[in-house]
Amino acid sequence: MDAVLESLPDVFKAFGYTVLLFLVSGVFSLIGGTILVAMRVGPISVLDKAAATYVTLVRNTPLLAVFFFFSFAAPKIGINFKWVDVHIGTFDFTSFFSTAVVSLTLYTSTFVCEALRSGVNAVPLGQAEAARAIGLPFTGVMSQVVLPQAFRASVPPVASALIALLKNTSVAAVFGVIEATAQMKVMTNNNADERWGIFIAFAIGYVVLVELVSLVAGTFERRWRIA
């Protein structure tokens, strides 16, 4: 554990990158998932089929393959994030970080979509029909009647998707983002005799983060519980 204590600033910074990846990707995933579920349950058949195809394709693609596409294939057709170079405090937001955010967002939003769709299906059909009967357009029905209840009903599955996202941030270590898993690899390479202590310390860090997400999700679930 001496290696962990000696490198504590680097460890905290690495977990800071993990948290930032999670927060930024999580927000965009919630937005993307909401857009996808609106397309899935909307009246326009083309959008429904497009969203269904996208969700099926991405959900059944390994996350590593998504990272590989945006890291190596996408730049070949002009899609890259080399223009991203922002420094805030001790954190550097480079093209590697942006690529990780895009990959994690596009992947996780499909799972959020399916979680929200289960919530939409839990809303009685009569409520949507009543809203349409009083003249609300589709956007009004979704934003004022269906989605608020769908979010309340789908807190547990959405929380599961976000917890998976938190753990999936470790894939970014392979693509140049020095988050927690990457820092753990560096430390185990430099301190092979203490590798088990390092593994345990980082595992505890991930468990703490997951428990925090679970705690927040549980709080929302209790506040929004549907009677």
CATH number of residue 78's parent domain: 1.10.3720.10
Q: 177 exposed, middle or buried (CB, 10 Å; 0-12, 13-18, 19+)?
A: buried
The boundaries of the domain holding residue 136 are 20-178
Q: Is the pLDDT of residue 2 over 70?
A: no
Question: Tokens in use for 77?
Answer: 């057709």
Question: In the prediction, which pLDDT does 47 show?
Answer: 93
Residue 122's pLDDT is 79
**pLDDT for res 87:** 64
Position 94 in a domain: yes
Average confidence (pLDDT) over 56-61 = 94
- The answer to the question of residue 88 being in a domain is yes
Residue 114 has pLDDT above 90, yes or no: yes
Q: Is 76 helix (H, G, I), strand (E, B) or coil?
A: helix
pLDDT for the residue numbered 48: 92
In a domain, 184, yes or no: no
One-character DSSP codes across 85-117: -EEETTEEE-HHHHHHHHHHHHHHHHHHHHHHH
Cβ proximity of 39 and 54 under 8 Å: no
Contact 121, 37 (CB under 8 A): no
Three-class secondary structure assignment of 160-210: HHHHHHHHHHHHHHHHCCCCHHHHHHHHHHHCHHHHHHHHHHHHHHHHHHH
Mean pLDDT lowest for which of 9-18, 48-57, 142-151? 142-151
Q: Flag whether pLDDT at 227 surpasses 50.
A: no
210, part of any domain = no
3 in a structural domain = no
**Does pLDDT of 140 surpass 70?**
yes
CA distances from 154 to 24, 116, 160, 163 (A): 21, 6, 10, 14
pLDDT tens string 163-203: 999 999 999 988 888 788 888 888 888 887 888 888 898 99
More confident residue, 226 or 220: 220
What pLDDT digit, counting tens, does each position of 208-219 carry?
999 999 999 988
Number of domains in the chain: 1
- The pLDDT, as a whole number, for residue 196 is 87
